[in-house]
Amino acid sequence: MASTSRRSQYFDNAKFMLIFLVVFGHVISPLKEKDNLLNTLYTFIFLFHMPAFIMISGYFAKGYRKKGYFIKSIQKILIPYVIFQIIYSLFYFLSGESTSLHINFFQPHWTLWFLMSLFCWNIFLYLFARLGWYGFFLAVALGVGIGYIDNIGSFLSLSRTFVFFPYFLFGFLLQKEQFKNIIQNKLSLPIGILILIVTVIIFTMGLPKDPTAWLLGDTSYAGMGEKQITDGFIRAFQYAATLIVVFGFLSLIPKNEYKVTKIGQRTLYVYLFHGFIIKTVETIVPDKMLGNFSSHYLLLICFSLLICFFLGSFLIKKYTRPLVELSL
């Protein structure tokens, strides 16, 4: 029982760190062009934070064959997507970001792409899980190949669904002992630190050039510029590099329980609601005034942490659970 508890604490700590990076990345997104350090941090965060989240989601999807799993996926993922798609449509209309109230369930709003893709990834398991690691390489080939379809984009989150699916499947295929051997051996921590330092240095040097579109995975190669036949090799290299950085990050996660560990169990609440806070601030605060905060790094970090603590609190879960988990 203690081993299971420590394992749970490890992943909860990892999810807390990742949801903080999600929030912090969205907080600095409108400011990154005004500050080189923020721009470097933004690209560094977006290289691995969602792939790591997705990989952990896949790791815990091993019970997909259990009775009721498909129905549970509809209840816990697809229906909340529909609910929050409506809420975001109303929010954008009332905040003035959209001139008309238009609800489109086929074009996910902002962060909601993750729910749409997560539902699809769980369905994909019924086919790809049978293929084992051959299925993983097939998923990589599909992720590379989807970029050559010029009109692929945010419709049903198709681009991101295929681009990020290899991370989900990799996590699913990874067994407990394999994960433990990679993350918790004696060399994991120093190698992980070295990986992250080298990655930050590379991004600080401005390499690669304009990587953001590649990291978001929401458009075709043509949509990111002039399409080249070699673009597929770039994405394949991106998969390998991202997995290395993901494991570098995961090797730094502690296994002990902290006050923030509980928030790691409520990351969905932070993920679904933090956009309302950030978008409201962007709407209320003038652009010129907002730009003045670009060099106040500590303030931006504290603001992001405050959002995580608030939205990850027990009270938020208590009163919003019917929306998020369809449970009273």
Query: What are phi and psi for residue 153, nearest 5 degrees?
Result: -170, -135
Listed residue (128, 110, 119) closest to 166, CA to CA: 128
CA 101 – CA 95 distance, rounded (Å): 11
Q: Do 21 and 42 contact (CB within 8 A), yes or no? A: no
pTM above the 0.85 mark? Answer: yes
Helix (H) or strand (E) run with residue 108 in it = none
Map 289-323 to HEC letters.
HHHHHHHCHHHHHHHHHHHHHHHCCHHHHHHHHHH
Q: What is the percent of the chain with per-residue pLDDT over 90, rounded to a whole number?
A: 63
End-to-end CA distance of the chain: 29
Q: Could you tell me how far CA 266 lies from the centroid of its own chain? A: 15
Closest CA to 119 of 171, 173, 57: 57
Q: State how far the Cα of 292 lies from the Cα of 289, in Å rounded to an integer.
A: 5
Report d(CA 58, CA 170) in Å as an integer: 7
Q: From CA 15, how far away is CA 157, in angstroms rounded?
A: 23
Is residue 44 a contact partner of residue 203, using CB atoms and an 8 Å limit?
yes
Q: How far apart are CA 41 and CA 199, in angstroms?
A: 11
Residue matched to tokens 């989240």: 53
Cβ count near 212 (within 10 Å): 13
pLDDT in tens, the chain (328 residues): 334 456 689 999 999 999 999 999 999 998 988 888 999 999 999 999 999 999 999 999 998 888 889 998 998 999 999 999 999 999 988 887 777 788 888 889 989 999 999 999 999 999 999 999 999 999 999 999 999 998 887 888 999 999 999 999 999 999 988 888 888 788 899 999 999 999 999 988 877 777 888 999 998 998 888 778 889 999 999 999 999 999 999 999 998 899 899 999 999 999 999 999 999 998 888 877 887 888 889 999 999 999 999 999 999 999 999 888 876 4
CB-based contacts of 234: which residues, under 8 Å, 6+ apart?
Answer: 214
